[in-house]
Amino acid sequence: MVSVVVAVLIAALVYLLCTALGLPAIVGIVAAILVLLAGAPGGVYGGRRV
């Protein structure tokens, strides 16, 4: 659960960074989605349950 919150916060920071650098909004959105996909647990197969 905590990893999802951290992934969302990092995705928001990536989006803000992309817009601050003057990149188009779609680039920031795509980058944020990629960060979410990489940072969120993999569900049943990829996630590690403790």
* DSSP sequence for 1-50: -HHHHHHHHHHHHHHHHHHHTT--HHHHHHHHHHHHHHHS--HHHH----
Per the structure, the count of domains in the chain is 1
In a domain, residue 7? The reply is yes
pLDDT given at position 13: 94
Q: Which residue has the higher pLDDT, 21 or 45?
A: 21
Q: Name the burial class of residue 46, with classes exposed (0-12), middle (13-18) and buried (19+) by CB atoms within 10 angstroms of its CB.
A: exposed
Residue 46 covered by a domain: no
Rounded to two decimals, the pTM is 0.74
Domain of 24 in residue numbering reads as 2-41
Does residue 50 form part of some domain? no
Distance CA 45, CA 6 (A): 20
Per-residue confidence band for 29, with pLDDT thresholds at 50, 70 and 90:
very high
